[in-house]
Amino acid sequence: MNSDAGANAVEGEVTKPRPKDWFALAVLATGLGVIVLDGTIVGVALPAIISDLNLDLTDAQWVNSLYAVLLAALLLSTGKLSDRWGRKVMFLVGLAVFMGGSLFAAMTASAGPLIGARAVQAVGAAFIMPSTLSTVNAVFRGKYRAPAFGVWGAVMSGAAAIGPLAGGALTQWASWHWIFLINIPLGLIIAVAAILTVPSTRSAERRKGADVDGAMLSAIGFGAIVFAVIEGPDLGWWKPSDDFSIFGWVWPQSAPVSIVPVTLAIGIVAIVLFGVWERHREKVRRSALLNLDLFTFSTFSWGNLTAAMVAVGEFAIIFVIPLYLTNALGLNLMGSGLVLAAMAIGAFFSGASARHLAAKFGAEGTVLIGLGLEVLGTLALALMVGPSTPGWVVAIPLVVYGLGLGLASAQLTGTVLRDIPVDVSGQASATQSTVRQIGSALGTAFAGAALSVSLSMTLPASLDGTGLNQETSDRLADATRQSAGGTIPQLQGQVDAGQAGPASHTVIDALTTGFADATRWALIVATVFLVLGFVGAVRLRRASARSQATQRDAS
């Protein structure tokens, strides 16, 4: 049970939330919005960061995805800590760490420190995220949970969608440093509001021991898998294509096998051992990071699978489309942000109206409608992407996708946690958040890998008819792939300044066509994951119907 007197969940009864609790929900949702925003605000600013700090594609992927990787690795641990130490305390500690990481990121001048700063931000976000959802789950019960989770889910999807617009505006009118600096005043305001309004809640469960081994296994497993997907295109999926070095240790190109499959195998083994270890901890009644019994609730299992697929599709789009808009279509950062704001328009509109649809079709039916719109929007986007597609045309399917994202996210959260006892709400919410973050990291990783692999095929094919010799063509294609398309606007700038010959127009057109083709393949990969999410939502609906029937029979 919840130990806080201010919480309104009481065994056997449902108490109406106080006005202060609704204010607390607003504060928690805003805190959540800031960290979700930070996961997507970097996307539109990436071209500027790549140019300013001279990043390659792999560096760019890590700047974008390390945040999600560490969140995925830490959320189970921080969810458990929030249950034990108090969710409000963890929320405030997380805000402090997050603001510190944001300041560090804004002051960086090279790839390494920026990636390190993103890691610090992720640690702070890992404290914040599970404490917000588990507090909402503990305070709002019965009929009050649906609107509370609706707010939480709408903020989650809306903040993710509006991030690119904010990133474009700040980068265009100030500098990319401000996408991080803005977190400091926002964090201070949220912290003060949280002290005044958020109730102190925690779990009454007090099992002995700290599950350090489980934390290590989960971090190694999730981190290794995402590392393999991100680094595969550059280091080689099986045969090494380049040296890999870290802290002076080198995995040489002459090795019989690439480090990528080895890392992937380590990740899979670590995840399997993590499951075995958590089952053992539960059997001996010791404190465990993950209660595997949660997955005996079929709504929890299928809901998490669906949430993961939604996150993969979302973050694949958020990673790839800004690069396409800026480098292939030549839009400025603000223009790219405005195009991507179409997602936010759809998400905010549908997130606010999702409960009305849920009243007619049920929460699970609304999730299905949302995922159907997401699949339709992403597939239409893949078909419309081209070397000269107007930005407003790209925005149309993004509105459709955003409508689906708002519907799915707003209703999915409450459905996943509906059958979960409040005493384990911290673990359950941290598990759901972990699954979403794994999806976010994999979305960036798969999209980046698909883009990189596709560029290695589409760019040479597009350059074949330009008259360049093979060596020059290969060098230009590789430079464009490594820079995630950044070579294209650089060449265009030389043409505009009269520093290049007339043949450069043909080369630029060929590179733009190749980049657009590769973007299309990356979007098709995102569509495949969203289709899998739709299948999961169908199973979720069936599981929810069985659960409701069982509850009716029991009553």
467-518 per-position pLDDT tens digit: 777 888 888 888 777 766 777 877 777 766 555 555 577 888 888 899 999 9
Q: Is the distance from CB of 356 to CB of 146 less than 8 angstroms?
A: no
- Give the pLDDT confidence of 38-69 residue by residue, as tens digits: 766 776 677 778 778 887 766 776 776 677 67
Of the two residues 4 and 221, the one the predictor is more confident about is 221
Residue 402 tokens read as 């955003």
Q: Which amino acid is at 263?
A: T
7 part of a folded domain: no
421 part of a folded domain: yes
Q: Using CA atoms, how far apart are residues 251 and 400, in angstroms rounded to an integer?
A: 45
Both 362 and 489 in a single domain? no
Is the pLDDT score of 91 beyond 80?
yes
Q: What pLDDT shows up at residue 495?
A: 66
Q: What pLDDT shows up at residue 6?
A: 40
Share of the chain above pLDDT 90, in %: 14
9 part of a folded domain: no
Q: What pLDDT shows up at residue 8?
A: 41
Q: What pLDDT shows up at residue 7?
A: 40
Q: What pLDDT shows up at residue 190?
A: 92
381 Cβ partners below 8 Å, 6+ apart? 317, 321, 394, 397, 398, 401, 523
Q: What pLDDT shows up at residue 324?
A: 87
Residue that the structure tokens 């399917």 belong to? 397
Alpha helices, DSSP H only, in 324-424?
333-384, 391-417
What average pLDDT is seen over the chain?
A: 79
Write the secondary structure of 253-273 as one string of H (helix), E (strand) and C (coil). Answer: CCCCCCHHHHHHHHHHHHHHH
Residue that the structure tokens 């739709």 belong to? 534
Which of the given ranges, 100-104, 141-145, 400-404, has the highest pLDDT on average?
A: 100-104
Q: What pLDDT shows up at residue 185?
A: 92
Both 497 and 397 in a single domain? no
519 part of a folded domain: yes
8 part of a folded domain: no
Q: What pLDDT shows up at residue 11?
A: 37
Among 542, 110, 503, 35, smallest CA distance to 299 is for 542
Angle made by CA atoms 475, 481, 486, in degrees to the nearest 5: 100
162 part of a folded domain: yes
Range of the domain at 464: 459-514
Both 75 and 183 in a single domain? yes
Both 36 and 120 in a single domain? yes
- Give the pLDDT confidence of 435-445 residue by residue, as tens digits: 776 777 678 77
Q: What pLDDT shows up at residue 220?
A: 86
Both 424 and 549 in a single domain? yes
Last residue of a domain, one of 253, 270, 286: 286
pTM: 0.72
Last residue of a domain, one of 270, 286, 302: 286
Of the two residues 132 and 373, the one the predictor is more confident about is 373
5 part of a folded domain: no
Count other Cβ atoms within 10 Å, centred on residue 528.
17
Both 359 and 468 in a single domain? no
Averaged pLDDT for residues 408-423: 74
- Give the pLDDT confidence of 205-263 residue by residue, as tens digits: 666 666 778 888 888 887 788 778 777 777 788 888 877 766 567 788 888 899 889 99
Choose the weakest-confidence range: 108-122, 264-278, 493-507. 493-507
Averaged pLDDT for residues 77-103: 86
268 Cβ partners below 8 Å, 6+ apart? 221, 225
Radius of gyration of the chain measured on its C-alpha atoms: 23
Q: What pLDDT shows up at residue 393?
A: 92
Choose the weakest-confidence range: 298-302, 320-324, 424-428. 424-428
Q: What pLDDT shows up at residue 94?
A: 92
Q: What pLDDT shows up at residue 5?
A: 36
Both 353 and 308 in a single domain? yes
**Three-class DSSP category at 52:** helix
Q: Using CA atoms, how far apart are residues 78 and 84, in angstroms rounded to an integer?
A: 10
Q: What pLDDT shows up at residue 189?
A: 93
The structural domain count of the chain equals 3
Both 391 and 378 in a single domain? yes
Q: What pLDDT shows up at residue 485?
A: 74
Is the pLDDT score of 312 beyond 70?
yes
Both 313 and 421 in a single domain? yes
Residue 425 tokens read as 């709400």
Both 155 and 252 in a single domain? no
Is the pLDDT score of 139 beyond 70?
yes
Last residue of a domain, one of 286, 313, 332: 286
- Give the pLDDT confidence of 327-358 residue by residue, as tens digits: 888 887 677 777 877 887 787 777 667 777 77
Q: What pLDDT shows up at residue 61?
A: 66
Following CA atoms 448, 450, 452, 454 in sequence, which dihedral angle do they give, to the nearest 10 degrees? -150
Tell me, what CATH number does 538's domain have? 1.20.1250.20
Is the pLDDT score of 306 beyond 50?
yes
Q: What pLDDT shows up at residue 520?
A: 93
Both 374 and 274 in a single domain? no
Both 215 and 343 in a single domain? no
- Give the pLDDT confidence of 366-399 residue by residue, as tens digits: 889 989 999 999 999 999 998 889 988 999 999 9
391 part of a folded domain: yes
